[in-house]
A and B are shown apart, each in its own frame.
Chain A
Amino acid sequence: MADKTNDPAAIWQNMMGEMEKGFNAFANQAMASPEFSKLVNQVGGVSAGAQKQLGELMEKYLVTMNLPSRAQMVSMAERLQSIEGQLNEIKALLHQAHSGTSDNHPVATKPPRTKRPPSTGGEQK
């Protein structure tokens, strides 16, 4: 077994771990200041406003280009989701009907709710 203290790979991993911890601790200290919060929220506020304006502009552009907008795509995704949901229901019904008629697939019965914990003498499988 190689000595960990002389193993270059172990030394490298240890160094990486220590650097990660050190940087995280340093950054956490900096991020705990009110100045950091102020700066982050100024930047975040500007970017949220810009995002909204860009979204509106993009919507107009897509209409002009005769392309579907995000809202239309979302609506289409919802329709697909609803169709998928209905297919799942049909599949479940078919599965039930099939397992009810086939000898190979007896009707699925729920297991009895009689299990006892091992501490009271119940069997732990």
Chain B
Amino acid sequence: MNAPASLDMAAIPERIQSEVQRAIQRSIKGVEYIASSGPSLGSTPKDILQVRGTMNLYHYRPIADEIYRVPILIVMATTNRGYILDMVPGQSFIEFLLKRGYDVYMLDWTAPKPEERSLRMEDYVLDFIPDCVRRVQRDSGETDVSVIGYCFGGVLSLLYASIFPDGPMKNLICFTTPVDFREMKLFHNFSDRRYFDVDRLIDSVGNVPPEMILSSFEMLRPASRAASQVQLWENIWNDEYVKSYRMFDRWATDTLPLAGEYFRTITKDLMWDNKLFNDTMSVGGRKADISKITVPILHAVAEHDHIVPYDAAKPLIQKIGSADKEEVMLKGGHVSLVAGANAIKRLWPKLDLWLSERSI
């Protein structure tokens, strides 16, 4: 405890003045906040190469005079929108890659329609990803393709790489990708097979509603939403804070539904039977053994990831067959690992350093 004697009496009027000014600013900016629509996200110029139901393939227009030989295909997580990697200029991972001379494509998802409830894991791994890889090859004129998978996009990329170990994947980069699903303890408990009737759920609702996905994410940190709103009010005078809050809040709440059959497989094969970790996973009758993957791989994990805890992600590098493999643990959480001020100074330069040497 500090003694009251250490109180700086001279600073008190200045402090009161500053707080009064902030209170006035809060009222003005609070009204502005409600009336305005927030920053425009995902605006890096791109061309849509293919739209097929829930699947969207974009090509971002190169901005460097000279680019690396090997193009990159980013595989986004199926629960969220890809614009987390393309927030606003100066805070866009895509823009960073383009400026550094990469040719960037993204496999992004839109909400599956009710009739897409029957999409299965094999549609994602044996159809959507190979189709996008082929289109990237055709568009770029290159045979080799580097793949970056974020979160469950990383799981899909791992499954794809393990089923097609002979190429054309040149490099694999996974961001915070789970392999041991038992270690996702709360998700594992929510989907406890004794109480969670996944068949009944899918047969009732078709596609898993986005509200359910969002609430299961929010349940991992139940106090954080209320606390973040208090913090917003405290900092509403600060334009940069508000801009950042709006970007991340919009993205976090813009959750996608999941195709019913696909979710059924995730629950049964990954959550219940932990097949990826146990080396018993197969997709459409084809064995998906990650020890068969031999391409260079970088796995970036976050020190304070509450969605994919480190213990769930750790076995990836241990199990993978590649000789050239590296895991890098960086400060931050599941989202701040890839986007925002933290990512700009930590993950992005690390990725560039690793990938540039392997993209020629």
Q: Which residues of A contact B (CB under 8 A)?
A: 2-3, 5-7, 9, 13, 16-17, 19-20, 23-24, 27-28, 31-34, 36-38, 40-42, 44-45, 48-49, 51-52, 71, 74, 78, 85, 88, 92, 110-120, 122, 124-125
Contact = CB atoms under 8 A, between A and B. Distances in A.
Interface residues of B, number: 53
A37 B196 contact: yes
B35 interface: no
Given A111-B62, A111-B66, A37 B223 contact: no
B8 A41 contact: no
Interface in B165-198: 185-186, 189-190, 192, 194-197
B61 to A, nearest CB: 8
Contacts of B6: 3, 5-6
Of A36, A113, A116, chain B has the most CB atoms within 10 Å of the CB of: A113
Interface stretch (B119-127, B199-207, B249-257, B339-347): B199-207
Give the one of B47, B100, B204, B234 with max A CB within 10 A.
B204
B96 to A, nearest CB: 13
A4 to B, nearest CB: 10
Contact of A16 (B2, B113, B231): B231
B67 interface: yes
Q: Chain A at the B interface: mostly helix, strand, loop or mixed?
A: helix
Contacts of B280: none
27 contacts: A5-B2, A5-B6, A17-B227, A19-B223, A24-B224, A28-B220, A32-B185, A38-B194, A38-B195, A40-B190, A41-B192, A44-B201, A48-B200, A48-B201, A48-B205, A51-B204, A85-B48, A110-B67, A112-B66, A113-B142, A117-B356, A117-B359, A119-B356, A119-B357, A120-B357, A125-B64, A125-B99
